[in-house]
Structure 1
């Protein structure tokens, strides 16, 4: 993609099947076309906390609100895994090999609202990945992308789940809504993940299976050169 050229997305139908055409990002969010994105959650095995990023004030949606560890659109011709790797590296400066990314599930998201005085429609399928590390990363391990990310924090899954169920206004709308949705299986899976208290992991077969699937890539923060910062 050339300098200044607007990114394009592959359009999909309501079953996430490619329809064979692309559109620029701005038109997709204007017209409400279905497209694909990724959600990447970085989890710490020792504390059962996750990384969240605060979106910068210039974002075209949900500015200065807390969001997933890293997220982004699957651009035309792209694939979910390569997108997940790219977004985590670009937004937080964290680079991992393919086998560090555990595919959890696909989530269907529908949103209609307004930001910066403009209508914004987001109909997308989110491919949800987890990267599980053995211990929490120090602050200097992160290299934040200034035009995308304002800050990062670590928060317990149980605390995040409580905030989402309460509809906390500091978190992006599509996350807060997960705590109140119960119909679609995909959203139910997401809700189950955030409901967990750490001590309840063994009682949740679904989440236990997902988290155990990540165990092959538990890391010390130094294993990937992440502690060699400032």
Structure 2
């Protein structure tokens, strides 16, 4: 079983914990870390993962490069580093994580015949990595693909491919990247 910290509206742990499936059944607020892997070729590119068809939510949808729930007692950053290692087989240097902001999200739906009520607060990061080979966690991910950032934004905006990406998160990334110099992180 995976236990999560119950958090307040700002993402601060309340001292209570909840099992992950219960959090999703009852809509109990918890934390996640989102890491968008980026690189610069001719254009800015972003790495997307295709979620496994067996996932408890959004099966077979393109999604964030790597993301995950934060286990009880863990921090946003340590969870981001752990998920990148588990899902993609990559080592993330904490000093090179680019903090983009915090997102509050609520989603109600049904997957595989089960109620899914997700209430999460996420720290969103970018991470520069010019790499083509990844060791994907097959239970979680079917494959990963690089896509130009512009094509990703257009595809999400116009629903051109099956995804569970939120437009406001892509805008958060875009605004952050406009404010910094990527050369500082290379």
Larger Rg: 1
Q: Encode CA deviations 1:92-141: one digit per residue, 9 max, x unaligned.
A: 111122112111100111100000001101100111011113xx422xx2
CA distance in 2, matches of 1:117, 1:168: 26
Corresponding position of 2:17: 22
Corresponding position of 1:116: 112
Corresponding position of 1:200: none
Q: CA RMSD in A?
A: 1.7
- TM-score, structure 1 length as denominator? 0.75
CA distance in 1, matches of 2:85, 2:91: 5
Secondary structure at 1:106 match in 2: strand
- TM-score, structure 2 length as denominator? 0.92
The 5-angstrom pairing of residues 143-158 of structure 1 reads 143-158=135-150
Gaps of 5+ in 2: none
Runs of 4+ in 1 over 4 A off after TM superposition: none
Corresponding position of 2:101: 105
Q: Encode CA deviations 1:62-118: one digit per residue, 9 max, x unaligned.
A: 111101000001110000001111111110111122112111100111100000001
Contact 1:73–1:83 under 8 Å retained in 2: yes
CA distance in 1, matches of 2:122, 2:48: 17
Q: Encode CA deviations 1:7-61: one digit per residue, 9 max, x unaligned.
A: 1000012232221100100100001000100110010023300100011111100
**Number of equivalent positions:** 185
Q: Which has the higher contact order (CA 8 A, sep 6+)?
A: 2
Q: Do structure 1's residue 162 and structure 2's residue 154 form an aligned pair?
A: yes
Query: Which has the larger share of strand?
Result: 2
Structure 1 residues 123 and 169: CA distance shift in structure 2, 3 A:
farther
The 5-angstrom pairing of residues 33-44 of structure 1 reads 33-44=28-39
Contact 2:155–2:161 under 8 Å retained in 1: no
Structure 1 residues 193 and 45: CA distance shift in structure 2, 3 A:
farther
> Which of 74, 80, 86 is the matching residue for 1:78?
74
Query: Which has the larger share of helix?
Result: 1
CA distance in 2, matches of 1:169, 1:35: 28
